[in-house]
Structure 1
Amino acid sequence: MKKLIICSLFTTVSLFLLIACGKKKDDAQEEKVYRVEGTITVDGRERTFLLNLPPTYYTGSGFSLVIAMHGGGGSATQFETSSRLTQKANTENFIVVYPEGVKSTGPLGARTWNAGTCCDFAVTNNINDVKFIAQLIDKLVADYKINPKKVYATGHSNGGMMSYRLACELSNKIAAIAPNASTMVVTQPCNPVRAVPILHMHSVLDEHVPYNGGTGNGISGVYAPPVDSVLDVWSSKNACATKAQVVVNNSSYQFTQWVNCSNSTLIHYYLTKDGGHAWPGGLPGSLNGDTPSKAINANDLLWNFFKQYQLP
């Protein structure tokens, strides 16, 4: 009897250890990843991006994707830090990806986007950044739980310019855009296949990309068309029946909108009277960067704007 009890006890302990070991193995296999530093190859060139998944990713589905593009000379990690967009994405449960422009071969290795006439290395070498973003969207939609109808683009400076180019050439993949401290500098006719909702943010103190047009001190002598004229062009493309209306004009900012547009599309324009060439509500983009506006918060505005829209 004593021998039988000992054997039974040994068997029970062995089973417990086996189950415990098996459980640890399963837990390791189910390790959840929320941050991805990825690459894809486009036209024989390796392109890089940083992806952030929200805390609810593994229990949810049908997530929105925001494509956030850094300014000229910036990077994915730099723009993530200065914009604080990841914190907003984690709170509001959307996916954000920070793609990177190509790095120049010069001593600074500055990354830029080919938005048309700007900027630098990407333009000089005719980098097809539209193709890069199109393939990146396809990859992320295939690999992650993203609703393909809820893909949006935003960006600062050169990245904002790239947002406008995407609105012109990828309106079948991008539901809305929110450029900051930028303008539209496309060199080919802008022919979106549908009306594109636009939220533009700028500061009257921006000397790099002047809101009223001209050659700023940060884009290598490239002429920047006035923001008003750019948005007037888009109001025509979006078939807006109502001209620009100033809704708010106080000591902090001016808010202008174009309404009664095709497919209930809106165009919003926030012009702050503080800040400079920086992400409103964020951090300076560099040690010598301009102080961001405190009059508005770019992340709050863009997300409230984006979530109103999806592709048909």
Structure 2
Amino acid sequence: MKMIFNFISACICMMLLSCSKDPNPAPQPFRYSEQIVIDGIARTYIVKLPKNYYDSTKDRPLVIGLHGTGGSASQFETDYGFNDKADATGFVALYPDGVLKDDGRGFFEIRTWNAGSCCDYAMYNNINDVKFISTVIDAVCSRFAIDKKRVYVAGMSNGGMMTYRLASELPHKIAAIASVSGPMVAVKDLSLQGSVPIIHFHSIIDTKVPYNGGVGIGGVSFPPAIDGINYWVNRNGCDPVAMVHHYTNYEHSTWHNDFNNKVMELYLTYDGGHAWPGGKKARAGADDPSTAVNATNLIWEFLNKFSLP
């Protein structure tokens, strides 16, 4: 009788254990659409985890992608291949949205960043995008396994301009930046300190934001891209004389610091226009992307070399 009782008890225990384990657990999410309120304005962003994120608990690099004027977080995510690069290499991608003109009530719903002297609604209303990005970095780092010493920012056009401002004001949080077709339009404050490695891409035939400066899209006057690069060459303690290599469709310039580390790079393409080299054409009527280089691959190769002390 005792043996029968023990057998029945064991069977019940096995049944309970099997029932407690869900044979079809819900899949872990890899993409989050988030919202945060900054200075009374609801700001949005997308977090994309790499496909191997849940395979370990190790901290991952964070790459922030900033769209251009008229773009969006989802547009950057779709057009420039960072999700595929994240899956292949293991970083977490973060795509914030610029502030929406007229808080969404305007006829033209255009998102922009307050990068300094550009652009549009965000600049005219003095939107604190530095605070927004800084706060989002903290929020994402607190929720996900992020290596805080390896936070990077890449941006297109107005987003590229914003990367320069973030580097200037948040050098303690940003390990390196990449700008595509976006010169530095923030104040070049010589009193500021903090080294931030930079890679810049531009087409010599870009008429919307001319590489050599001048009047571009919307009648806006832009500074020469080399002005911002030279500011950072000095701030990063680099030899002011660049090493320049010429190729069929582009030229590649590099600057080295006192430790002979290559911390500044410039890819100047002879083809394309105001577009992401190697990326998708943003829309009908937009400039064709350069085919001389693949910006996404080169950006990750550059960013991945740097870490905050």
Partner Cα distance (1:288, 1:85) in 2 = 24
Q: Give the unaligned 5+ runs of structure 2.
A: none
Equivalent position of 2:294 in the other structure: 297
Match of 1:51 among 28, 47, 53: 47
Report the residue type matching 1:245 in the other structure: M
**1:95 aligned residue (92, 97, 122):** 92
Q: Tell me which of 235, 238, 242 is aligned to 1:237.
A: 235
Cα deviation code 1:29-83 (max 9, x no counterpart): xx41210001111111111001100112122312000110000010011111111
- The answer on whether the counterparts of 2:72 and 2:97 sit within 8 Å (CA) in structure 1 is yes
Residue range with higher mean Cα deviation, 11-20 or 263-272 = 11-20
Measured at CA, do residues 22 and 296 of structure 1 come closer, stay the same or move farther in structure 2, by a change above 3 Å? same
| Residue matched to 1:226 | 224
Does 2:156 correspond to 1:160? no
Question: Identity of paired residues, percent?
Answer: 43
Judge conservation of contact 1:117–1:222 (CA < 8 Å) in 2: no
1:23-42 map, 5 Å: 23-24=21-22, 27-28=25-26, 31-42=27-38
Report the residue type matching 2:235 in the other structure. K
Give the residue type in structure 2 aligned to 1:268.
E
Q: How far apart, CA to CA, are the structure 2 residues paired with 1:189 and 1:114?
A: 17
Q: Give how far 1:264 is off.
A: 3.6
TM-score, normalised to structure 2, is: 0.91
Q: How far, CA to CA, are the matches of 1:175 and 1:187 in structure 2?
A: 20
The amino acid across from 2:44 in the alignment is: T
The residue aligned with 2:172 is 172
In the alignment, which residue of structure 2 is the partner of 1:118? 118
Which residue of 285, 305, 309 maps to 1:308?
Answer: 305
Aligned to 2:194: 194
Q: SS at 1:27's partner residue?
A: coil
CA drift of 1:262 comes to 6.7
Amino acid across the alignment from 1:223: S
Q: Is the 8 A contact 2:272 2:287 kept in 1?
A: yes
Q: Residue by residue, what CA displacement relative to the aligned partner does 1:162-194 show, whole Å, maximum 9, x if unpaired? A: 000001101110010000011011147265432
Q: CA deviation at 1:232?
A: 1.3
* Cα distance in structure 2, aligned partners of 1:87 and 1:191: 39
Structure 2 residue identity aligned to 1:285 = A
Letter of the structure 1 residue corresponding to residue 199 of structure 2: L
Deviations 1:237-265 (A, max 9, x none): 1121241221x212211001111347945
Give the whole-Å Cα distance in 1 for the aligned partners of 2:121 and 2:190: 23
Tell me whether 127-136 or 273-282 shows the greater mean CA deviation.
Answer: 273-282
Structure 1 moving runs of 4+ over 4 Å: 3-17
SS in 1 for 2:171: coil
Q: Which letter maps to 1:215?
A: V
Contact kept, 8 Å, 1:62 with 1:145, in 2: the verdict is: yes
1:178 maps to a residue whose letter is A
Residues 249, 255 of structure 1: 8 Å contact kept: yes
**Contact map agreement 2:156 2:180 (CA 8 A) in 1:** yes
Alpha-carbon distance between aligned partners in 2 of 1:120 and 1:18, rounded to the nearest angstrom: 63
**1:21 maps to 2:19:** yes
Question: Partner amino acid for 2:229?
Answer: L
Q: How many Å separate the matches in 1 of 2:7 and 2:110?
A: 68
Task: Report the CA distance shift for 1:275/1:259 in structure 2 as closer, same or farther (over 3 A).
Answer: same
Contact 1:172/1:193, CA 8 A, preserved across alignment: no
Number of aligned positions between the proteins = 305
Q: Give 2:85's aligned amino acid.
A: K
- RMSD value over aligned CA atoms? 2.3
How many Å separate the matches in 2 of 1:289 and 1:50? 25
Q: 1:269 aligns with which of 266, 270, 294?
A: 266
Deviates more, 1:166-175 or 1:50-59: 50-59
Q: Distance in 2 between matches of 1:192 and 1:137?
A: 22
SS in 2 for 1:38: strand
Identify if the C-alpha distance between structure 1 residues 190 and 46 changes in structure 2 by more than 3 Å, giving closer, same or farther: farther
Matched with 2:101 is 104
What is the CA–CA distance in structure 2 between the aligned matches of 1:178 and 1:157, rounded to whole Å?
A: 11
Letter in 2 for 1:300: N
